[in-house]
Amino acid sequence: MNRPVTLQEILQAKITSLEEMAGQLKGLSELKGSIADDAQNSLDPEQFRQKAMEHKRDAFAALAAKYILEEVVLAARTKAEQIALMRHYVLEFGQEMRRKAKLSNSLADDDPQKWEVDEDGFQASFVVSTLNGILSDVAPEPPHYTLPSPSRNRGTARLSEPIRTRL
């Protein structure tokens, strides 16, 4: 019989996975950058540079999520504290993601600040996605209930079927 997997083991596995992903993305970024710089290349070098930048961005996002898990969440003493910290960071990075999206939408496409704002927003989005993935496995939230519009027959409101919501 298999023993249950602990939250510590899940977090350690995710940290290892994020480290490996960051390393692979860094390698891809360097490879595509060198292909773009190769004078003998008949392919569009700008396309390779763009992909190299995307891989580098993804690697930084993976490292940011790894840092939150390794330095903050694993430092908590109990499973409840770890879950509370992950939920806190989902909210914090979610707010940062929304602020960056709003700022990005207000900037012109040719504004040099737009790229950096978009990168920061992507990084926050990656952290939220990573933490939500772990939370959905180890601490699913109970369904949220909403009140329907008043019934035509009785004029009273009653709880509807559960509606799952996610951040």
Dump pLDDT digits (tens) for 108-163.
Answer: 999 989 989 999 999 999 999 999 999 998 887 765 555 555 544 444 434 334 43
pLDDT number for residue 34: 79
In this structure, of 34-38, 92-96, 99-103, 141-145, the range with the lowest mean pLDDT score is: 141-145
Number of domains the chain is built from? 1
In sequence order, what are the residues at sequence separation of 6 or more whose Cβ sits closer than 8 angstroms to the Cβ of residue 49?
Answer: 32, 33, 36
Return d(Cα 15, Cα 114) in angstroms, integer. 30
- The verdict on residue 83 lying in a domain is yes
Concatenated DSSP letters of 117-154: HHHHHHHHHHHHHHHHHHHHHH-PPPPB--PPSPPTTT
pLDDT number for residue 85: 93
- The verdict on residue 163 lying in a domain is no
- The verdict on residue 149 lying in a domain is no
pLDDT, one tens digit per residue, over 56-87 is 889 889 999 999 999 888 889 899 999 999 99
pLDDT number for residue 39: 56
- The verdict on residue 112 lying in a domain is yes
Angle (CA) 158-162-164 rounded to 5° is 140
- The verdict on residue 147 lying in a domain is no
Question: In this structure, what DSSP letter does residue 73 have?
Answer: I
> What 3-state DSSP class applies to 54?
helix
- The verdict on residue 158 lying in a domain is no
pLDDT number for residue 52: 82
pLDDT number for residue 166: 42
Better pLDDT: 35 or 121: 121
pLDDT number for residue 147: 54
pLDDT band for position 19 (cuts 50, 70, 90): very high
pLDDT number for residue 156: 41
Determine contact, residues 147/160, Cβ cutoff 8 Å. yes
- The verdict on residue 14 lying in a domain is yes
Domain hosting residue 59, numbered range: 7-138
- The verdict on residue 143 lying in a domain is no
pLDDT number for residue 93: 95
